[in-house]
Structure 1
């Protein structure tokens, strides 16, 4: 089978690798002349690590990242609001904080040996013929036809509307800025730490292990803010922001001193993607292009990796591409839809200007976190293993 993949992010590279390793002829199209990761750090859950094991890349990723045992969040007074431990799901379980650049290097480095034909500087503008897709780039060059075209160009997908014209992808009004720092003494090791001032301010530190340059003891620091204030952050007074950050979380002062200008930060915005069916004919959306949501549960990259593995497994010689894609989506939505719903429900509790949401969060989360049965349920959600149905055996951690 001839397959095209559009987008050289986590979802696109993982899909290209998964398809190529099953013997398909794969062409991966990327708009930029030099593909590069966007953002700072991310948290790989046991579910995402299981998908990387299927791809044969888990050991390489584990060697670069930092083990995360729990997630804990406190308010300005130091009172614990959020307390979730991987061990409540399964003894010995953990997440992995990793620099996006490091994950990118592992995935990108595996493309050539898998036989993936990576074509950079080719921005795909248009899709012709959904049954036997042809991809038309910005110069008017036609690529294909292909038996399958996988659209993995992210939550801001330019091609999503050509697959599903009624799809919606509204921007969340809140985003975040991210930057990396050194934590040589390991003050923030072993956990994703967060601090909250109601829901108008959320600050977090995630250990991510080694950066792409090989330097160890890296952490990613993030600061949540409304999109309307994003430009002001990058054009504004960094010293003033540092003073505010120290008020929120005094222990981060050594990290903050390493930031010389706003240019040290990358920006992140998020979309609530509603697609309905992901596929049409020989076309399918995957990753954030199909089911992007807010980052409150930290599942974006993990769901994308699982999409890639399950897509390749659903394609069988005795079944048409269109039927295979329909069955692929039916299986994946048993996992992606619960996470989309949960993220939508949680977002106002952590990123909003209102007072009711964070009050409910503060009154309920801490007491509920002490209930053993509920701790296991919340840990299951955290690990990425929530699914309304059977998890494929090879994707069980």
Structure 2
């Protein structure tokens, strides 16, 4: 809980800090990388830095956390903190890195706001930072303990057992720990981080959702990212990683995972967002679940729909499951009511359903709004987004 004095100072200065946060975060990263260039090379996603997505995500998290402290002083925003903690744990972030971030973040704040940052203002925002940092450190420590990865040592060597092409731009990798290590436990919906060494020597890291339920192995699927900047790691994995190669893979993490209840489920995805949903369906089928399941997927066409056959097969194995697919540009005969963008208002949404969403942010916003309109409780709608979470703290 923020102290009363700091609460008043933060409330008074939040508009100024919030208004400048878009300028503060780029300067913070410039300072951080100038002092510690290895962080840009080996920890942070260079593509997200180039696009500005990482800066936007950090700005949103800081503003959301500070706002929560002053508007709801007795409630810690645990959902937001859990999401960040899982991502940090998958990267191997350590508690020793938090003072480094504080140093360069506060230097950037002082540089942008100048004389407005009095000693009292600096002390109040320092309290905000350490409330957030210490909460994350504690959450991450528990995640590392459960994973058996002391002090952030989450990386293990895995051998590639198989690779399967799902579509022209999606490849699935099946991997097993080297040296006879046991396969770590994973919950359906979680992801792993994968680290590769690129031609310039950078060791870049990306997260990929687990996309299946293989025996004694982990399975993740990678979509090739085109454009400018193109996906450094996705292209490297597609072009250079073969069966019997070795990859560095983290323990599975992720706060959006299938619950163990018996209530109805809505699994809603678009594009490569089908990967965690495929893992959830695979788990439900493997465990003989009798839950009612409504699976929804939206894609450009049949050719771009990864795990198209698995969606039909897995829902067919469940006694009370249905699949509903929309294609924007179907390649053959396709129902008109399932052509275009997914429209969840056309579905019979079961009462008391828990929803899991994964896909691009515009899709998530539209799907969530339609589910709320259909009566699904906000607390029962969980989402996963690939890359920096620009929605963090903003979904209400």
TM range (shorter): under 0.3
| Higher percent of residues as helix | 2
Structure with more relative contact order (C-alpha pairs < 8 Å, separation 6 or more)? 1
- Normalised by the length of structure 2, the TM-score is 0.26
| Higher percent of residues as strand | 1
Larger radius of gyration: 2
